[in-house]
Amino acid sequence: MPQLEELAGEIRELILTTVAKNGGHLAPSLGTVELTLALYSVFDFRHDKLVWDVGHQAYTHKILTGRRDTFHTLRTLGGITGFPKRAESPFDSFGVGHASTSISAALGILIAEELKHTSNRVIAVIGDGALTGGMAFEALNHAGQLKKKLIVVLNDNEMSIDKNVGALSEYLSKIRLKPQYHRAKREFEDFVKNIPFRDVGEKILLAANSVKTGVTAAVFPGAMFEAFGFNYIGPIDGHDIKGLQEVFSKVGVIDAPVLIHVRTTKGKGYAPAETSPEKFHGVGKFDKATGQVFKRPAPPSYTEIFSQTVIDCAAQNNKIVAITAAMPSGTGLKKFAEKFPRRFFDVGIAEEHAITLAAGMAAGGLRPVVAIYSTFMQRGYDQILHDICLQNLPVLLCLDRGGLVGEDGATHHGVFDLAYLRTIPNMNVLAPKDENELRQMIFAALNKNFPVAIRYPRGAGLGVKVEDKPQEIPWGKAEVVERAQAAEVTICAVGTMVKTCVEAAKLLREKKFSVEVINARFVKPLDAELIKKSARASKLLVTCEEGTLAGGFGSAVAELLVDEKISTPLLRLGIADKFVEQGTRAELLNLCGLTAEKISQRIHERLNDLIFGFLMVTT
Ligand SMILES: Cc1ncc(C[n+]2csc(CCOP(=O)(O)OP(=O)(O)O)c2C)c(N)n1
């Protein structure tokens, strides 16, 4: 035990030093050091399987399973990832990054183990925030029905990224506050079992169990989990290694679903993170001694402009309401909540619900704005299609962190949105070239009576002047940002790529090519007239997007050219059909060929091909 405690200290130090240098999920991982050590000292994960939820709390697991020496590369290009990943280690039994998947995945793995006739145990570790996601309940429901010997560890620290919300969170707080309920239940059962005339006692117990929700919900903790068919144990101290070991050893032999409710402190052992767990949930580089986060002076972020703009619009229109799925700080809606508490809704990690809730509000005459990171919006695809677009309801979807997000890696890049949104009828898809255009787009979208999605990137804006009273952008219209007489090349860029393509055009002009640059603004509806005209007038049309090439903006332009029988050669630049790993945003843009130099080089090469091909045909 003293060695384990010493090890816990060493691991904490390594996590702290590394995250201070690389950034990362500090508070979640500091909170699970003892829990992970206890799991590893009871179970044998060469055979048993450990499935993490979100995976942002799994740094101790990584360090214990052969990645101590490479831990300094955490979240860097070519280094180890910030989340469990099957390709990285056989101990990472399931890859993760999005929330609420662990119970489903663990149940699936357990079924596979049983069909292979092993007796390996499967353990899911899920946070109280992740438990607010509907899929976790779908899985509990199924596991309870199957009565499999699944072990679920509920890591309850009362926090999601921000304070956890919802009735479930209140329910857990009640259990937390009244641990004597747990004893009361056991005492009640022992008392009843000890009644002389044994069968009388058992009948009472049976009767009590048959009215379980009535009796236990009123008196005993965990009644809700027991209603799902789980044996509930807890709450127990998640920093007491010995106590945890005792419980894990006992449940290891139970042949039924068990849920162990563990209480932990987010950020445990590092005072700044214990005091501000939201700030240290996912944090950039910081000074370990003071907890001061290193920030370079930068223009306001897209998130800040979004936040202020929605507040400004809401001040004019009292029908505007705002919804977040557990990310009031990250999406910038926290300020809206302070200003308009009755018009703000944090639904927890429940993107599907957030979207259908918005559809319902729109059907009821409100103007909902739903702010969700692009990668998590994927969760609500059918809700966007079936509940919003099919009914053509005026919901504004704001997709923050569109494009490459950097160090969080493959699970978090928002590169699929343009492709997955533009195929849905009635949907309008926009991407601003800068933060002022974001403001203009939000103003314009909130005046429309149909669904609109606006995607914008992580981080600082370009530092352009942000208009107080924004000009209304003409709907469905692109803008020519750089005109050229008899352009050989027209580059049609969208979102963040507009600025990069303006720089690429400059490099091409230095090589004496004449280049026009268009800011597409709309991925849907496309400004077909302008694109057709430019395509017909140029030798080469180029599209450029910080998104997947498969089905994205360039595909939309290709469809237009084919349908209009325009044979101008088209070069599509964007992200290839494979998952992009982690690195800084600059490194990843370079890797994907989305820098001004690489864009100008690709265009130059294609122009050379065209000229060379033309010469070959004519000679
Ligand atoms: C589907 C989805 N939505 C949102 C997120 C962003 N997110 C990452 S961790 C987190 C909070 C998780 O809270 P909890 O499970 O209690 O873990 P804790 O961080 O408190 O340890 C959120 C909202 C996500 N990863 N996946």
Q: The domain that contains 511 carries what CATH number?
A: 3.40.50.920
Give catalytic status of residue 296 as yes or no.
no
- For residue 310, report the distance from its CA to the centre of ligand 1, in Å: 24
E strands present in 308-455: 320-324, 344-346, 367-373, 396-400, 428-430, 452-455
Query: What is the per-residue pLDDT for 210?
Result: 46
Domain that holds residue 321: 302-455
Output the residue whose Cα is nearest ligand 1's atom 19: 28
pLDDT in tens, 469-520: 999 899 999 999 999 888 899 999 999 999 999 999 999 999 999 999 999 9
Residue with the larger pLDDT of the pair 405 and 181: 405
Q: For the sheet containing 479-482, what is the strand order?
A: 479-482, 515-519, 489-493, 540-548, 570-575
Residue range 406-421: average pLDDT? 98
Query: What is the per-residue pLDDT for 614?
Result: 65
Query: What is the per-residue pLDDT for 438?
Result: 98
Task: Please say if the pLDDT value at position 199 is more than 90.
Answer: no
SS3 185: helix
Residue 272 to residues 8, 294, 406, 583, Cα–Cα distance (Å): 19, 14, 25, 26
Query: What is the per-residue pLDDT for 427?
Result: 98
Residue range 243-269: average pLDDT? 94
- For residue 373, report the distance from its CA to the centre of ligand 1, in Å: 12
Give catalytic status of residue 49 as yes or no.
no
Q: Is the dihedral angle over the CA atoms 68, 73, 78, 84 positive or is it negative? A: positive
Task: Please say if the pLDDT value at position 197 is more than 70.
Answer: no
pLDDT in tens, 563-588: 999 999 999 999 999 999 999 999 99
Which one from 49, 266, 367, 524 is the annotated catalytic residue?
266
Query: What is the per-residue pLDDT for 466?
Result: 98
Residue range 223-233: average pLDDT? 93
Q: Amino acid letter at 90?
A: P
| Ligand 1 atom at shortest distance from the alpha carbon of 54 | 25
Determine contact, residues 575/414, Cβ cutoff 8 Å: no
* Cβ neighbours for 87, distance < 8 A, ≥ 6 positions apart: 95
pLDDT in tens, 141-189: 999 999 999 999 999 999 999 989 998 888 888 887 655 445 445 554 5
- For residue 127, report the distance from its CA to the centre of ligand 1, in Å: 8
| Ligand 1 atom at shortest distance from the alpha carbon of 28 | 21
In a shared domain, residues 413 and 495: no
Tell me if 347 CB under 6 Å of ligand 1: no
The answer to the question of residue 295 being in a domain is no
Task: Please say if the pLDDT value at position 597 is more than 90.
Answer: yes
The pair phi, psi for residue 297, each rounded to 5°, is -60, 135
505 burial (CB, 10 Å; 0-12 / 13-18 / 19+) is buried
In a shared domain, residues 588 and 494: yes
Task: Please say if the pLDDT value at position 409 is more than 60.
Answer: yes
Tell me if 135 CB under 6 Å of ligand 1: no
Give kind and range of the element (H or E) at residue 21: helix 2-22
In a shared domain, residues 413 and 318: yes
The answer to the question of residue 280 being in a domain is no
In a shared domain, residues 158 and 187: no
The answer to the question of residue 471 being in a domain is no
* Cβ neighbours for 285, distance < 8 A, ≥ 6 positions apart: 20, 21, 22, 23, 293, 294
Q: Amino acid letter at 530?
A: L
Residue range 368-381: average pLDDT? 98
| Ligand 1 atom at shortest distance from the alpha carbon of 157 | 20
pLDDT in tens, 291-323: 999 988 899 999 999 999 999 999 999 999 999
Tell me if 266 CB under 6 Å of ligand 1: yes
Structure tokens at 420: 């997955």
Taking phi over 0 as left and psi of -120 to 50 as alpha, with beta for the rest, 326 belongs to: left
In a shared domain, residues 334 and 438: yes
Which one from 351, 407, 435, 546 is the annotated catalytic residue?
351
Q: Which of 132-146, 196-210, 301-315, 402-416 is predicted least confidently?
A: 196-210
Query: What is the per-residue pLDDT for 202?
Result: 54
* Cβ neighbours for 304, distance < 8 A, ≥ 6 positions apart: 332
Report how many domains make up the chain: 4
Output the residue whose Cα is nearest ligand 1's atom 25: 98
In a shared domain, residues 162 and 76: yes
Query: What is the per-residue pLDDT for 609?
Result: 92
Which one from 379, 401, 433, 521 is the annotated catalytic residue?
379
Query: What is the per-residue pLDDT for 179?
Result: 52
Output the residue whose Cα is nearest ligand 1's atom 11: 160
In a shared domain, residues 151 and 230: yes
Pocket test for ligand 1, best of 104, 160, 331 (most atoms within 8 A of CB): 160
Pocket test for ligand 1, best of 25, 30, 51, 54 (most atoms within 8 A of CB): 54
In a shared domain, residues 391 and 348: yes
Tell me if 84 CB under 6 Å of ligand 1: no
Tell me if 98 CB under 6 Å of ligand 1: yes
Determine contact, residues 455/414, Cβ cutoff 8 Å: yes
Tell me if 524 CB under 6 Å of ligand 1: no
- For residue 46, report the distance from its CA to the centre of ligand 1, in Å: 27
Mean pLDDT score of the chain: 93
First to last CA, the chain: 84
Structure tokens at 189: 């059962």
Residue range 215-232: average pLDDT? 77
In a shared domain, residues 442 and 501: no
Cα(367)–Cα(356) distance, integer angstroms: 13
The answer to the question of residue 282 being in a domain is no
- For residue 132, report the distance from its CA to the centre of ligand 1, in Å: 10
The answer to the question of residue 460 being in a domain is no
Determine contact, residues 77/577, Cβ cutoff 8 Å: no
The answer to the question of residue 310 being in a domain is yes
**Cα 30 off chain centre by:** 21
Query: What is the per-residue pLDDT for 619?
Result: 57
Cα(552)–Cα(544) distance, integer angstroms: 10
Give catalytic status of residue 597 as yes or no.
no
Determine contact, residues 468/313, Cβ cutoff 8 Å: no
Task: Please say if the pLDDT value at position 254 is more than 90.
Answer: no
Cα(528)–Cα(316) distance, integer angstroms: 33
In a shared domain, residues 390 and 494: no
The answer to the question of residue 229 being in a domain is yes
Closest CA to 310 of 323, 320, 299, 300: 320
The answer to the question of residue 364 being in a domain is yes
- For residue 236, report the distance from its CA to the centre of ligand 1, in Å: 22
Tell me if 26 CB under 6 Å of ligand 1: no
Query: What is the per-residue pLDDT for 200?
Result: 47
- For residue 64, report the distance from its CA to the centre of ligand 1, in Å: 23
Closest CA to 49 of 86, 23, 15, 17: 86
List the CATH number of the domain containing 123.
Answer: 3.40.50.970
Q: How many CB atoms lie within 10 A of CB 8?
A: 20
Q: What is the DSSP string of 59-92?
A: HHHHIIIIISTTGGGTTSTTS--SS--TTT-TT-
Closest CA to 97 of 605, 581, 489: 581
In a shared domain, residues 378 and 509: no
Pocket test for ligand 1, best of 15, 61, 349, 355 (most atoms within 8 A of CB): 349
Q: How many CB atoms lie within 10 A of CB 492?
A: 29
Task: Please say if the pLDDT value at position 191 is more than 90.
Answer: no
Query: What is the per-residue pLDDT for 195?
Result: 47
In a shared domain, residues 487 and 425: no
